[in-house]
Amino acid sequence: MYRVAVVNSKSFGRHAPDLVEELERYAKVEWMDVDKNLRGKELAEKLAGFQFIIASVTPLYDREFFEENKDILLIARHGIGVDNVDLKAATEHGVIVTRVPGFIERDAVAELAVALALSAIRRVCYSAKLVKENKWKERGKIVGFNIRGKTVGIIGLGNIGSRVAEIFRYGFNANVIAFDPYISEEQARKHGAQLVDFDTLIEKSDIISLHTPLTKETYHMLSDKEFEKMKNGVVIVNAARGELIDTEALIRALESGKVAAAGLDVIENEPIKGDHPILKFDNVVLTPHIGANTLEGLRGMDEANVRAIISVIEGKAPIEYTVNREVFEKGTRAKLKNT
């Protein structure tokens, strides 16, 4: 019988037991937690005997993993990003890599990004903490600002970023600008945004929200140099990937007051420990990568993974979910009928 390893994902199947039951008619499904730094040969040995992996954001499936593990037919990312999978190595070894289509997480992640912005600007979490500590009288120290008329800069105007742009433009009457080298000015206008270059966005925005994939080009796209160019009192929102921001640089910008507040759903090297220096700031809201965690979002993610795995078991190529589609031309480990 086929075996499926659900690796480092507590959410898969939790709210869609019917989908798990459907998958279990085809394969044995096993949940496991592994160290986020486990990789290469050790990870390959840990996952020996499994044909399918439902993968969270950790660990890293690197070239050595694919060289050492001969059993894996498909890795299904339980999410949109595939930055923890070496796609080139997977393709060379005939392993299909799938992900969740962006539209499935669109509303869930976009709404959380806006919630993080609001929480950071209005110091919602800190204010609630004051109440619990019987410090109601300190409320006068908490002052935010209205979003109406402010400039919101969106970095990455894809499925999620475009929805964030719509919410800020049409929900809050903000001035929305965006940087995305892969879309046209007309496409941006459809979502209420004006395209600008990266430096203009950095310099003009009151709120900056990141919605771009993690690549070599976008790694630490916000660091000391970028923070120096920003307005004093800027608010930073990141619901994409932690490594887009140089965390040490962000801490320096928070300490100096250049950054007034930050709303983060992700951070470098997550999960972090409770003594991480970012946690000392009352003007930082940090959630544990819950962007897609709505009932609708999680079910959509589960279904995408289940459909991809069942397709391969039935000898069909899960083309609509596949990231490395060139694998179908080069040859897959799985025996498929429709490639």
Left (φ > 0), alpha (ψ -120 to 50) or beta: where does 229 sit? alpha
Instruction: Report the C-alpha gap between 96 and 317 in whole angstroms.
Output: 9
The torsion of the CA quartet 173, 198, 207, 166, rounded to 10 degrees, works out to: 30
Residues classed as catalytic: 241, 270, 289
- Identity at 250, one-letter amino acid code: L
Full 3-state SS string of the chain: CEEEEEECCCCCCCCCHHHHHHHHCCEEEEEECCCCCCCHHHHHHHCCCCCEEEECCCCCECHHHHHHCCCCCEEEECCCCCCCECHHHHHHCCCEEECCCHHHHHHHHHHHHHHHHHHHHHCHHHHHHHHHCCCHHHHHHCCCCCCCCCEEEEECCCHHHHHHHHHHHHHHCCEEEEECCCCCHHHHHHCCCEECCHHHHHHHCCEEEECCCCCCCCCCCECHHHHHHCCCCEEEEECCCHHHECHHHHHHHHHHCCEEEEEECCCCCCCCCCCCHHHHCCCEEECCCCCCCCHHHHHHHHHHHHHHHHHHHCCCCCHHHECCCCHHHHCCCCCCCCC
